[in-house]
Amino acid sequence: MTRELSFEIEAGAICAVEEAAIGAFSHVGLGDEMQADTAAIAQMHKVLAELAVSGHVVFGEGDEFESAHLFDGEKLGLGGIECDIALDALEGTTLAAKAMQNALSVIAISPKGGLLRVPNIYMDKIAIGPNFPQGIIDLDKSTKENVEAVANFKGVPPNRIGVCVLDRPRHADLIAQLREIGARVYLIPDGDVAGVIFTTEPSADVDLYMGVGGAPEGVLAAAALACVGGQFQGRMVVKSESDKAKLRQSGIQDYTKKYELQDLISGEVIFAACGVTDGSFVKGVRHYYNGTETHVLLLRSNPKIRRVVTTMRLNGHK
C-alpha cells in the first residue's frame, strides 16, 4: 500500500464508518434492530462504492441472500489498489435498538491477502492490549494461569485485573472461574469488537478479553490490536457439519488450529470505528441545530498511528 493511497484509503475508511453511524443513529432507541442495521449498511455501501480501490469484501453482512449490499465476496470501488475489506456496518444492533452504549460502525482495510477469510461461526478468543511480553496469554492455558500471568507481570493481585466477557449463558463457567480467582469481570451485553478494544484503553480498566464470539468479529478485533501492538489468539468453535462446510468454503481445512494475530492479519491494515452511541473510547453521533458531530477511532499498523477524529458536518443553511 503506497503512502499516497493509504491517505486516500484512510479518508475513505473514516467516511464509510461515519456515514454508517449517522444512518444507524436515526434508528437508535426505536427498538428495531433490522432498520438500524439496514440504514448503516446502505450508507457504508454508498461510500465504499465510490472509493478509488478494487475492493473485495472478505466478510461483511453475510452472503448475497442475506444482504443486498456489503455481502461476503462483493466487489467494491472504482478501481485501483486491490484491497481486502472486513466490516460490520453496525456492530451491536441490539445496543443501537435499545440506545445502549458501545454500538459502533467498524471497518478494516488491508492490501489483498492481508485479512484471513473466516466464515460466520463461533471463535474462542483471548486478547490483551499493548505493553505486555509476547506469549503472556495463551488459549491453551487455564483461565487461572492467564489471569495470574498478567497479574504477576503488573505486580498486582488478581483482583486488580479486569477481564471483559460477553454476558452469555455459554460463559457461565468462565465467569465463575474468573470470580473464584478474584478477577474483576466486566460483562458486556453485545459487541465483542468493542470488548477487545477495551483492552487497549487505559481508562477502560480492562486487561483481558476472554470468551466465545463471532469469528468475523475476531478478525476485526485482531486488526485493531495489530495497529497498537496487542496480542490475540483464536480457535474456531465447530459445532456441526454445517460449520465444517463453512470452514472448507473459506479455505480452512484445519478446524482445530490456534490462530495467532499474524495468522489473521498478515499485512498492513487500517482500522476505523465510529461511535453510534456513546462508548468507552469514542462518543456517539450528536445532532445539533447546525450540524452532526461524529467521533472515529482510526488505527494504522504501519506506521503505528492512533487518532480520534472528530468531525462536525454543518447543515447547509443560507
Scanning the structure block, which residue is given the C-alpha cell 473466516? 118
Flag the least confident range among 4-18, 25-39, 87-101.
4-18
Structure-block grid coordinates of residue 206: 480492562
pLDDT recorded at residue 3:
55
Residue 317, pLDDT > 70, answer no
- Could you tell me which of 151, 106, 104 has the C-alpha nearest to residue 128? 151
> 154 pLDDT exceeds 80?
yes
Residue 168: CB partners within 8 Å, gap ≥ 6? 211, 212
Structure-model confidence comparison of residues 316 and 78, the more confident one: 78
Tell me if 270 sits within 8 A of 10, measured CB to CB: yes
Q: What is the pLDDT of residues 93-122, one digit of tens each?
A: 999 999 999 999 999 999 999 999 999 999
pLDDT digits (tens, 9 = 90+) for 31-82: 999 999 999 999 999 999 999 999 999 999 988 778 889 999 999 999 999 9
pLDDT confidence bin for 316, thresholds 50/70/90: low
Interatomic CA distance for residues 295 and 307, integer angstroms: 10
**What's the pLDDT score for residue 67?**
87
Residue 204 confidence (pLDDT) above 80? no
Average pLDDT, the chain: 94
Model confidence at 318, pLDDT cuts 50, 70, 90, reads: very low
Report the alpha-carbon distance of residue 307 to residue 297 in Å, rounded: 6
Least confident of 143-147, 152-156, 188-192: 188-192
High-pLDDT (> 90) share of the chain, %: 88
Q: Compute the chain's Rg from CA coordinates.
A: 19
CA distances from 93 to 40, 46, 65, 88, 220 (A): 10, 20, 19, 10, 16
Ordered by where they begin, the domains of the chain are 3-113+269-314 (3.30.540.10), 122-264 (3.40.190.90)
pLDDT higher than 50, residue 1: no
Q: What is the DSSP string of 208-246?
A: EEEEEEEHHHHHHHHHHHHHHT-EEEEEEE--SHHHHHH
pLDDT tens track for 295-308: 999 999 988 889 99
**Strand partners of residue 296:** 274, 309
| Res 92 pLDDT > 50 | yes
Confidence of residue 4 (pLDDT cuts 50, 70, 90): very low
